Chains A and B, each alone.
Chain A
Amino acid sequence: MAEFGIAAPSVKVAGGKPATATGKSLSVVALRKTYGDVVAVDEASMEIAAGEFVTFLGASGSGKTTTLMMIAGFCEPDSGTITVGDRDVTRLAPQKRNLGFVFQQYLLFPHMTVSENVAFPLTLRGVPKAEIRKRVGETLEIAGLSGFGGRKPRELSGGQQQRVALCRALVYRPPVILMDEPLGALDKKLRDQLQVEIKSIQQELGLTVIYVTHDQEEALVMSDRIAVMRNGLIEQFDTPRELFERPRTPFVADFLGAANFLPGRVEKHTDEHTLVRLDNSGGLLKARRHQLASGTEVKVAVQPGRLRACADDDGFCTGTVETATYVGTLVRAGVRIDGKEAPLLRLEVPAGRGPVAGERVGITADPDDVNLFAGEQGG
């Protein structure tokens, strides 16, 4: 029974530090799932530490949800193992895994009140009534739902319903809580608010959370680490900063940073920099030092926010501003580059100093913000 976490002391929240880390580590080794000829998840492996917030980020069909479902036990992997703490759960039924799950559609029991919903997993575990009442009360309070206990789910707003679902998943202190796009059905403002709430509850209680989303911003805001998935493969599993600043594949650079790509060829190296000759403009671009042989064909990737407009001949290329859209704190500019094929570069520059349409500009970037990808790697 101890495994069900009943004995876990109630968490006293103080100063945002985990009083007791209730979460456990989770490891996934060579997990694979196919549907007919389609490989949904291909040899996914990862180690998730206790108390870590990990997000599976990807477009639909990337395998993120399938991976989550395999961890939850709702679908069986073809091969591979899933370990929670030091317990192999790969072949266990969902109800034997003792994990928490928050669904996009809330899935509260409509015939039970909020309190009964939250109490449900505790009653399954034979927790005494007085203890149940205490724990349900505490949990609802954490989620700001005190006083809602007697209501039916249908009497609550979407955001409140999802808070109840969250309470229901964490009231029994599962070692890992899985969340499948839990904020997907909510509007933007509520989503932003709940992101912060979920994150702070996770930190306060030391929960291990695996979170699935297709929303890059959400992933960046909430996660300790993000696994970017595509076509059943984990493209990169890293901290938000690493993913953003040092993407390992063009896909990651595009997906997270919406990077601009320019083809080029490595010309030479200096001690600190790699110099790339751009194909279309013939300009020379300075990047941070990459381990690439001279002459290698590369894709240069720079995020719109890391490009700067400068004097006409100070940059690695020149162009004409085609569009300049004011979006509050930023101006989004499209700059048509002079030269072959004349690609359009997207820039984001602080409003006020922004370029205007029709203006001639040079474009430059900090070498540290320039990522190079060799050849056709990862497309």
Chain B
Amino acid sequence: MAALTATAPARPRKLLASRKTRVGILYALPVVVYLLVLFVYPIFSTLLLSLKNTDGSLTLHWYADALTGVNLSVLITTLRISAETALLSLVFGFLLANAISRLKPLWAGLAMLIVVVPHFISALVRTYGWIIMLGDKGLVNESLAGMSAPGAPYQLLYNELGVVIGTTSMMLPYTVLLLYGVMRGVDRRLLAAAASMGAGRVTIFRRVYLPLVAPGLASAGLLSFILSLGYYITPALMGGPNQTMIATLINQQVTKESQWNGAAAQGVILLLLTFAGLLLVKLVTSLGASRRKRSAS
């Protein structure tokens, strides 16, 4: 360091990393403006809309509306279907990602491509694909009937099963991508180390592997839950009247009834639910961490 400052000009230069500047904030300006105009403003105007009465006074009755009667049951259906979707896409995503993470890099890359490529196709097209597959005369029912499965054809569309099949398939690439990343990060020699100490396969899975991928499971589950909450096309096309989800309801209010205020209230509720989901996961993980800390000391 002495040698460096000796050769440097009179004013010693600070290390780049420790240099503080007020000019740097300017670089963020375009993004800040972009977010203010296209994100912060719309959200606040929506919030305002949801609190405004037809005569312009403030009210909470749009929220009261959104949380009673049919609207409430739509909300509950939305939560239930999202939870089912999250759970199923987590289970299938885990199995798939786990299998892929054991493949050789080349094959793993190929498998990931197969998982992700369908995602490049429009959700609408994929949904119609499912509708063709799952109909009474669709591939699934025809094959089942061919194997003379009792009760075939099954009702696989326009009910909750149909919606969950559809949304799960839409969420699967996300969960697989997330879990695959986490699983690749797990040092498989840790599993060998556990085996060397006498742990069997089940114990290794439960006490070493699962805790190591748990953060990935939490974030993948949360992501698919949140994405399902606001999912529109698939539930609308593959569900029946009883599977109306909140996004569909909002759409109906805006396009058919021009009921912007109610729609805004429901939008805000959707947003709050998403926040609640995030908070819940945060809570669960930090709770788990503190519990482990206590049991250790």
A263 close to chain B: CB less than 8 A: no
Alpha-carbon separation in the docked complex, A150 to B296 (Å): 6
B212 touches A124 (CB 8 A): no
| Interface SS of A by simple majority | loop
How far apart are the CA atoms of A172 and B196 in the complex, in Å? Answer: 12
- Are A124 and B296 also in contact (CB < 8 A) when A94-B192, A107-B187, A107-B193 are? no
Once A103-B189, A105-B189 are accepted as A-B contacts, the answer to whether A72 and B297 lie under 8 Å apart by CB is no
A20 at the interface (CB under 8 A from B): no
Residues of A within 8 A of B292 (CB): 111-113, 116
Give the nearest-CB partner of A151 in chain B: B296
The answer to whether A95 touches B199, judged by C-beta atoms less than 8 angstroms apart, is yes
Given A74-B192, A103-B189 in contact, is the A121-B198 Cβ separation under 8 Å? yes
Task: Find the A residue at minimum CB distance from B211.
Answer: A111
Q: Is the interface of B mostly helix, strand, loop or mixed?
A: helix
Contact B197 A168, beta carbon cutoff 8 Å: yes
Known: A115-B296, A149-B297. Contact between A101 and B212, CB under 8 A? no
**Is B190 interfacial (CB 8 A cutoff)?**
yes
Q: Are B198 and A98 in contact (CB under 8 A)?
A: yes
Interface magnitude class on chain A: 20 to 34
- Provide the B192-206 mask, 1 if CB < 8 A to any CB of A, else 0: 111111111001000
Cβ of B212: which chain A residues have Cβ within 8 Å of it? 110-111
Q: What is the CB-to-nearest-CB distance from A13 to chain B, in angstroms, rounded to a whole number?
A: 24
Pick the residue among A95, A149, A168 that contacts B195 (CB under 8 A): A95
B227 within 8 A of A: no
Contact B196 A109 (CB under 8 A): no
Using CB atoms, name the residue of chain A closest to B208: A109
Chain B positions 146-193 with a Cβ under 8 Å from a chain A Cβ: 187, 189-190, 192-193
Q: Which 7 A-B pairs have the closest CB atoms?
A: A101-B196, A113-B296, A121-B197, A107-B193, A111-B211, A94-B195, A95-B195
- Could you list some 17 contacts between A and B, CB below 8 A? A74-B196, A94-B196, A95-B195, A95-B198, A98-B198, A105-B187, A107-B187, A107-B189, A107-B193, A110-B212, A111-B292, A113-B296, A121-B198, A124-B197, A124-B198, A124-B199, A168-B197
* Interface, chain B (partner A; CB < 8 A): 187, 189-190, 192-200, 203, 207-208, 211-212, 214, 292-293, 295-297
